[in-house]
Homo-oligomer: A and B are copies of this chain.
Amino acid sequence: MSIQYILEIIGTFSFAISGALAIKGQKYQDWFGASFTAFISSIGGGTLRDILLNSYPLVWISDITIIYAIITGIVVTFIFYKYLIRLRRTLFFFDTCGIALFTIVGTEKALNLGVRPEIAAIMGIFTAIMGGVIRDVMTNEIPIIYRKEVYATACLAGACCYLILNRIGVERNTAFIASSLLIIVIRILAVRYEWTIPRFFR
């Protein structure tokens, strides 16, 4: 069991918590809706990536640990949600780590499947953000990519960083950690200093 695998399980667990919490403001908030939303948020991005790349079986279908990580996330949210909501900063940190990890894992996986770097970067970003996009579309929210402006841009920067380090021959673990940290740092700075990316229509 590699460190990366443990981190991926933690990332899935974090995404399940933020997914379950996402129905907090909704009109209907029953157990099934919360679990369904948590599930879609956690596996949506990676599933879309694997379908686009024709990479089967899907990770959560062949590895049941992921399903149990999601169920654990749902149960933890159910029991501790009052504390979780107060721990806004901690949650933000875990969510950011999940996004960083999923971006680089997705980029690397696509690259290993033989696609070009441009496509690998798109797949990395999709892995990190599409679960949230699908969740927002389903709950009739404005999708996250249209709201938190630097959210996806940080993923793009991290994916490009990984691809460049990979190209110039940097050792894999170093490239992985450096690119993930870049995403985390950009996102934390962006939130703290309220960075926004330029408007498209001036």
Taken residue by residue from 110 to 127, chain A's Cβ proximity to chain B (1 for < 8 Å, 0 otherwise) reads as 000001101100100000
Where chain A touches its partner, the secondary structure class is helix
Q: Would A58 and B52 count as touching, CB distance under 8 A?
A: yes
Known: A58-B52, A119-B61. A145 touches B32 (CB 8 A): yes
With a cutoff of 8 Å between Cβ atoms, the chain B residues found around residue A81 in the complex are: 201
How many monomers of this chain does the complex have? 3
Task: List which A160-195 residues lie within 8 A (CB) of chain B.
Answer: none
**A87 CB within 8 Å of chain B:** no
Q: Would A30 and B61 count as touching, CB distance under 8 A?
A: no
Q: Would A64 and B137 count as touching, CB distance under 8 A?
A: no
Known: A57-B54, A115-B61. A36 touches B200 (CB 8 A): no
With a cutoff of 8 Å between Cβ atoms, the chain B residues found around residue A23 in the complex are: 146, 200
**A31 CB within 8 Å of chain B:** yes
Q: Would A28 and B119 count as touching, CB distance under 8 A?
A: no
Which partner residue on chain B sits nearest A54 by CB separation? B56
Known: A31-B197, A142-B140, A197-B32. A119 touches B152 (CB 8 A): no
Which partner residue on chain B sits nearest A51 by CB separation? B51
A26 to B30 CA separation, bound complex (whole angstroms): 26
Q: Count residues on chain A whose CB falls below 8 Å from chain B CBs.
A: 54
With a cutoff of 8 Å between Cβ atoms, the chain B residues found around residue A77 in the complex are: 200
Which partner residue on chain B sits nearest A38 by CB separation? B200
Partner of A200, one of B30, B53, B137: B30
A47 to B57 CA separation, bound complex (whole angstroms): 16
With a cutoff of 8 Å between Cβ atoms, the chain B residues found around residue A140 in the complex are: 140, 142
Q: Would B200 and A31 count as touching, CB distance under 8 A?
A: yes
**A4 CB within 8 Å of chain B:** no
Q: Would A28 and B149 count as touching, CB distance under 8 A?
A: yes
Which partner residue on chain B sits nearest A35 by CB separation? B200
Taken residue by residue from 84 to 97, chain A's Cβ proximity to chain B (1 for < 8 Å, 0 otherwise) reads as 00000000000000
